[in-house]
């Protein structure tokens, strides 16, 4: 394996993969959401474009591509233009640090299934994904209109508030795994035999609720609620810029699902590794298990959207400050205590 291949081609290939992987997942999610929500509501959803409507996202993308890109005269052009990019870039950047499986041996070369591994990978991923808040603020402010501004303000408060239980619960995982390296966390779950989601169900549930709120999804989707603020912070966006916001939301969902799976459900580990009867499943590569688990959580996202009414903004904030944060805090103390006593 020449240095050129190892040092240039493979990293570039990985970067392309890291951009493609969430994009492909986004495309799948768009279709999944519309189809699943429709079926839950007793109707069919898109089923004309391509087999079972699978090409619908492509049709949507083409439509959005050809839409007129409208910018108000009073809008702040620079901020208006970079906000979709900020939101998209933050999710994609975070994916660089998300591992997809154990390194694969190809001959003498070990191919790592991540672009970068860091001893504080967890922190980096959370930090990078939080940059999207800037995109939201800039978008709402630069639109120079009341509805987007209100939506942006609400979104910012929501995201910032829900960062706290996210951090606290993630800390419990780091505690148990004694590391903030995402790959290490998965390996620890392998060696400990029980996934952290089952060891610390409270952490998982608090993290999941906070994650749904962070991604502005139902039932916490007030900032972009159609029936109330028209479309929140991305009201004034059209065409490709709107497409970016739209795709970035799904990319963020995929990122969060990946995090949940890695932190709480063993990442790429197969379930029941010790059970003899299930040995035939060993041929399934870890990546496939990973995808299956992520798809479950994405389905859960869609299911929640189809079912629940929307939280009003003050209830949302009350929920996090009065319930989730104290709960996460107590949970952290309990985990720390148990760890200490061992």
How far apart are the C-alpha atoms of 25 and 247, rounded to whole Å? 10
Q: Measured at the alpha carbon of residue 167, what is the angle toward residues 265 and 160, in degrees to the nearest 5? A: 125
- Of 37 and 336, the one with the shorter C-beta distance to other proteins is 37
Q: Total number of residues binding other proteins (CB under 8 A)?
A: 27
Name the residue with tokens 């209830």: 315
Q: Which of 115, 291, 273, 105 is nearest to 187 (CA)?
A: 273
Q: Is 228 in the site for other proteins (CB under 8 A)?
A: yes
User: Which listed residue (127, 167, 219, 239) binds other proteins by CB under 8 A?
Assistant: 219
Q: Is 311 in the site for other proteins (CB under 8 A)?
A: yes
User: Which listed residue (283, 314, 341, 342) binds other proteins by CB under 8 A?
Assistant: 314
Q: Is 222 in the site for other proteins (CB under 8 A)?
A: yes
DSSP of 148-192, one letter per residue? HHHHHHHHHHHHHHHHHHHHHHHHHHHHHHT---HHHHHHHHHHH
Q: Is 321 in the site for other proteins (CB under 8 A)?
A: no
Q: Is 192 in the site for other proteins (CB under 8 A)?
A: no
- Of 241 and 305, the one with the shorter C-beta distance to other proteins is 305
- Of 108 and 227, the one with the shorter C-beta distance to other proteins is 227
Q: Is 309 in the site for other proteins (CB under 8 A)?
A: yes
User: Which listed residue (315, 322, 337, 339) binds other proteins by CB under 8 A?
Assistant: 315
- Of 94 and 225, the one with the shorter C-beta distance to other proteins is 225
- Of 163 and 221, the one with the shorter C-beta distance to other proteins is 221
Contact between 180 and 121 (Cβ < 8 Å)? yes
How far apart are the C-alpha atoms of 109 and 286, rounded to whole Å? 19
User: Which listed residue (72, 110, 192, 307) binds other proteins by CB under 8 A?
Assistant: 307
Q: Is 306 in the site for other proteins (CB under 8 A)?
A: yes
**Torsion angles phi and psi, residue 338, rounded to 5:** -60, -40
Cβ atoms < 10 Å from Cβ of 58: 14
The total number of residues shown for the chain amounts to: 342
Contact between 181 and 211 (Cβ < 8 Å)? no
Which of the stretches 196-204, 260-268, 288-296, 309-317 binds other proteins when contact is defined by CB under 8 A?
A: 309-317
- Of 172 and 235, the one with the shorter C-beta distance to other proteins is 235
- Of 130 and 145, the one with the shorter C-beta distance to other proteins is 145
Contact between 338 and 224 (Cβ < 8 Å)? no
Q: How far is the CB of 218 from other proteins (least distance, A)?
A: 7
Build a one-symbol-per-residue string for 40-79: x at contacts with other proteins by CB under 8 A, - elsewhere. xxxx------------------------------------
Kindly state the tokens that stand for 2: 């020449």
Build a one-symbol-per-residue string for 98-137: x at contacts with other proteins by CB under 8 A, - elsewhere. ----------------------------------------
Which of the stretches 19-27, 88-96, 166-174, 304-312 binds other proteins when contact is defined by CB under 8 A?
A: 304-312
Q: Is 218 in the site for other proteins (CB under 8 A)?
A: yes
Cβ atoms < 10 Å from Cβ of 146: 11
Residue 223 CA, distance from chain mean position: 18
- Report long-range pairs for 54-61 (Cβ below 8 Å, ≥24 apart): 56/30, 56/31, 57/26, 57/27, 57/28, 57/30, 57/31, 58/27, 60/30, 61/243
Given the rule CB under 8 A, which residues bind other proteins?
A: 37, 40-43, 146-147, 218-219, 221-222, 225-228, 230, 305-315
């Amino acid at each position: 394996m020449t240095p050129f291949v190892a040092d240039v081609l493979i990293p570039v290939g990985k970067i392309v993969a890291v951009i493609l992987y969430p994009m492909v997942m986004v495309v799948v999610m768009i279709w999944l959401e519309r189809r699943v929500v429709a079926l839950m509501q007793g109707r069919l959803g898109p089923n004309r474009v391509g087999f079972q409507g699978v090409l619908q996202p492509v049709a949507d993308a083409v439509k959005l591509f050809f839409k007129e890109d409208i910018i108000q005269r009073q809008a702040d052009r620079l901020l208006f233009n970079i906000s979709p990019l900020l939101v998209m870039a933050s999710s994609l950047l975070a994916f660089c640090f998300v591992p997809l499986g154990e390194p694969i041996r190809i001959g003498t070369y070990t191919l790592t299934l991540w672009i970068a591994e860091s001893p504080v990978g967890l922190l980096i991923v959370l930090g990078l994904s939080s940059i999207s808040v800037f995109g939201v603020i800039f978008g709402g402010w630069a639109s120079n209109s009341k509805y987007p501004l209100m939506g942006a303000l609400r979104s910012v408060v929501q995201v910032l508030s829900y960062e706290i239980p996210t951090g606290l619960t993630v800390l419990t995982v780091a505690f148990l795994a004694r590391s903030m390296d995402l790959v290490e966390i998965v390996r620890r779950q392998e060696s400990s035999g029980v996934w952290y989601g089952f060891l610390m169900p409270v952490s998982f549930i608090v993290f999941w609720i906070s994650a749904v709120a962070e991604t502005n999804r139902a039932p916490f989707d007030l900032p972009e609620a159609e029936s109330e603020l028209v479309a929140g912070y991305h009201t004034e966006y059209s065409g490709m810029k709107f497409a970016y916001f739209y795709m970035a939301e799904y990319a963020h969902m995929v990122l969060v699902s990946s995090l949940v799976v890695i932190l709480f459900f063993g990442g790429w580990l197969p379930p029941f590794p010790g059970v003899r009867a299930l040995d035939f499943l060993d041929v399934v590569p870890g990546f496939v298990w990973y995808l299956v688990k992520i798809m479950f959580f994405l389905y859960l996202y869609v299911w929640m959207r189809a079912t629940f009414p929307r939280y009003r903004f003050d209830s949302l904030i009350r929920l996090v400050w009065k319930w989730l944060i104290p709960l996460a805090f107590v949970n952290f103390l309990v985990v720390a205590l148990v760890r200490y006593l061992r």
